[in-house]
Chains A and B, each alone.
Chain A
Amino acid sequence: MTRRSLAFDLLVGAAALAILALMPIVWPSKALVDFVIRGSAFALFATSLNFLVGYGGMVSFGHGMFFGLGAYSFALLMQRTGMPIPAAFALTLLMCAALGLIVGAICVRLKEIYFAFLTLAFQMLLYSLIILWVPLTGGDQGLRGGIPRPPFLGVNLANQMHLYLMSCALLVVGLILMHHLVQSPFGYTLRMIRDNATRANFLGIAVFRVRLTAFVLAGVFAGAGGVIMSLFVSGAYPEFAYWTISGEGIFIIMLGGWNSFLGPVVGTVILLVLNDFVTRFTEYYGLTLGIIILLFALGLRRGLLDVVLDAWRRQVTLAGVGAKPSGVSNAPL
């Protein structure tokens, strides 16, 4: 069983899940539970975005549209139709895929910055729609009245502990799936396109189709993140579909590192901790955050995990062990 095999991923995933499940027992802190739930929502979102940015070289400024759609469609399905949670979840992911297919088909042809801004435009269209369609979405006040949570298969999401475990499970499964995608033949084709789309084209790779597939897949995982978020705040807010969410996603990737699969997860933790603690001590949140950003951008010049891993690889190579250079390096745009 090599480090690359699916079995290895599953093993690591199981271990991670076990640890997450034990954490609240070791530290019985409701805040920790809340933190992890939010964290898994953002981590799923950011990792899916990095699937596009880091592996596909497609910098989307509109990825938040899937986060928003995920939150809204799930919350609405639960409120309007009494369908069981798993069904609503599946249907929501389906909708995200559909949206990804439509938007992607139009966007992925475009180059770099134009791709970025066209996706942004689509996200803002969705946002305007949410604001506009008050009877359905509740407009700018968001979807109110809470989300009904009928128990299913012994899972009762009205119980914060159950929600915690469910989010952890979704996170781990989502990460395993995405890591598998990244390590699949498709994943490497995607890397080729990121590095040199023209050449890939002359090697008989259907660039458009591969990009579109990536866009749809990323959208689906982002949607799952949105679902967790809607359950956490038991509602949905237009902010979830606003471009700032996409911005935060990008920001998370930059903090954590876009060359390492788990970079976005690390980034999520950094950002949430910053957000939760900086605001406690100062009204000058922006100033503080801004300075920290500069330290990253001008100091580290890489995401945290990238820095760590590169250092580690250097160690290994020095030690003479054949280190596998990271398949990915800073390519986006």
Chain B
Amino acid sequence: MTHAHRNRLDRRTVLKGAAASTVGLLAVPMVARSENKAIKIGMSTILSGRVAQLGTSSRNALMMEVEKINAAGGLAGRQIEMVIRDSKGQPQEAARLSRELINSDGCEILIDAEASSGAFAVHEVARDLGMLTLHTNSETSSLSADPKLHLPNVFRACRQGVHDSIVGGSYAAKVAKAKNLTKWMTTSPDYAYGRDTTAEYVSYVKYFNPEVEIVGEAWPKLFQPDYTEVLTKILQTKPQALYSCLWGGDLTAFIDQGNIYALFQQTETFAVNMADYTALTAVKNLPKGIHSGDRYIKTFPNTPANAAWGDAYRAKYNEYPTNWSWQNAAVVHFLAEAAKKANSTDGAKLAEVLKGLTIESPFGTDGHLTLRAEDQTLVGYAIGWGTTIPTEPYVTDMTAGDWKQIYELEAEWKKKKNYT
């Protein structure tokens, strides 16, 4: 494994990386050969195994934007070379890959497109190596909220559990008042994201509507194939409303199995991760009227820009973008803007600019996204709740969350957790 040897590999890898993402079969390779002062950006994500689809959709969206940037002259004049690696979803692999991407592949920026557990592993590497790192997929709030984890060189450019919970909570409270739903139950996957998000959500539902009481909880394992025992438990408890942050295949299985127990006719269901095309399209008989937060919907925010982006993605990859897609696209936009402002690709300089940077984006509630300075995390993104219908556009009457309220309550939440 001498340097010469590795570099050759890297070059080939880049070609491969581009080729694999059916796009830019020409663009990137040409770059790779001609432009030798190209900037290498490393990306560690999940390309194989159970949630491979999320990883590929992250890569697709990212490559789609990278091409645009390269076509427009690249980052401060340097073409972008993506070096994308598959962690198979294992945290120790993610850690190893990010070290390798920086140490041996000579990447100058690291994009961590891992799920939460992987993200925390990469975070330790970022602490170790001080490289400019952007988390694009981990929604676990503590990653950016906990000052112990705060690193000047690390940003989070994706949703955050606590934001979802505040918006979801206020929305649910309204529905609860209107329909007088007091007995609630939760069923969420038994891992950090599931536990934290659920706890936060519940606390806010109660905050906005004190009558609400939690009469039961069920904690299926992640990727559990059969939810019968969970469903029967719910039927025992007979809650008026049910909250779940199950996602992806687990959610669709839960819906399918819940259907045959006629669960969704009996209980008002709030599934934060329902309004994601992958889930919406997979479920065969999608019950009407499930409440859900938006993940990515091209009709929310209902702007031409957003619709255009969604259609472009679909046209290019012949699949719907996922929640992970827009987040990775956004990161590229941020980098491009920062490089323009700093007129440099130096990690430290970029980090300086990224701190508090606001950009125009189809994914913002008001057309803007901001990397908040205080905790270097994304705010202002489209966040809202609506109810499902069985056909396109799948989710209707979205009510957008109010960021002013989010900021206030988030601040209180941080105090409560003494994160400040």
Contact = CB atoms under 8 A, between A and B. Distances in A.
B85 interface: yes
Interface stretch (A4-12, A30-38, A91-99, A187-195): A30-38
Contacts of A239: 90-92
A31 B6 CA distance: 10
A34 B47 contact: no
Given A29-B1, A141-B140, A280 B9 contact: yes
Interface in A32-50: 32, 34-35, 38
Contact of B47 (A131, A276, A283): A283
Contacts of A276: 100
A139 interface: yes
Interface string A286-320: 10000000000000000000000000000000000
Given A29-B1, A235-B124, A285 B140 contact: no
B415 interface: no
B6 A29 contact: yes
A277 B5 CA distance: 12
Interface stretch (B115-123, B203-211, B290-298, B303-311): B115-123
A214 interface: no
B117 A141 contact: yes
Question: Interface size class for chain A?
Answer: 35 or more
Contacts of B192: 134, 139-141
Contact of B96 (A38, A131, A145, A240): A38
A141 B116 contact: yes
B3 A29 contact: yes
Given A234-B128, A235-B121, A145 B148 contact: yes
Contact of B191 (A34, A139, A240): A139
A184 interface: no
Contacts of A284: 48
The size bracket of the interface on B is 35 or more
A184 B1 CA distance: 37
Nearest to B222: A140
A142 interface: yes
Most buried by B among A145, A279, A280: A280
Contact of A142 (B2, B85, B117, B140): B117
Contact of A30 (B20, B103, B121): B103
Interface string B136-165: 000010000000110000000000000000
A84 B291 CA distance: 54
Nearest to A33: B103
Interface centre among A35, A141, A232 (most CB of B within 10 A): A141
A31 B1 contact: yes
A131 B189 CA distance: 12
A141 B196 CA distance: 12
Contacts of B116: 141
A59 interface: no
A268 B47 CA distance: 24
A95 B128 CA distance: 29
A279 B83 CA distance: 12
B40 interface: no
A35 B149 contact: no
A281 B124 CA distance: 26
Contacts of B3: 27, 29
Chain A residues touching B, majority SS: helix
Contact of A283 (B52, B99, B140): B52
A195 B222 CA distance: 43
A54 B378 CA distance: 54
A229 B191 contact: no
B16 A144 contact: no
Contact of B91 (A38, A142, A282): A142
A144 B120 contact: yes
Contact of A140 (B16, B20, B88, B117): B117
Interface string A129-157: 00100100001111011100000000000
A238 B185 CA distance: 28
Nearest to A35: B1
Contacts of B224: none
Given A140-B191, A146-B127, A286-B48, A31 B100 contact: yes
Given A239-B92, A240-B92, A286-B48, A32 B1 contact: yes
B259 interface: no
A233 interface: yes
B2 A29 contact: yes
A237 interface: yes
B104 interface: yes
A234 B85 contact: no
Given A237-B92, A280-B16, A283-B86, A34 B100 contact: yes
Nearest to A30: B103
Contact of A281 (B16, B91, B103, B190): B16
Contacts of A34: 96, 99-100, 103
A141 B94 CA distance: 13
A233 to B, nearest CB: 5
B132 to A, nearest CB: 18
5 contacts: A27-B2, A141-B140, A142-B120, A239-B92, A279-B85
Given A142-B121, A146-B127, 8 more contacts: A27-B1, A29-B3, A34-B96, A34-B103, A134-B192, A139-B191, A146-B128, A237-B91
Interface of A: 27, 29-32, 34-35, 38, 131, 134, 139-142, 144-146, 229, 232-235, 237, 239-240, 276-277, 279-286
Give the 3 A-B CB pairs with smallest separation, nearest first. A31-B104, A30-B103, A140-B191
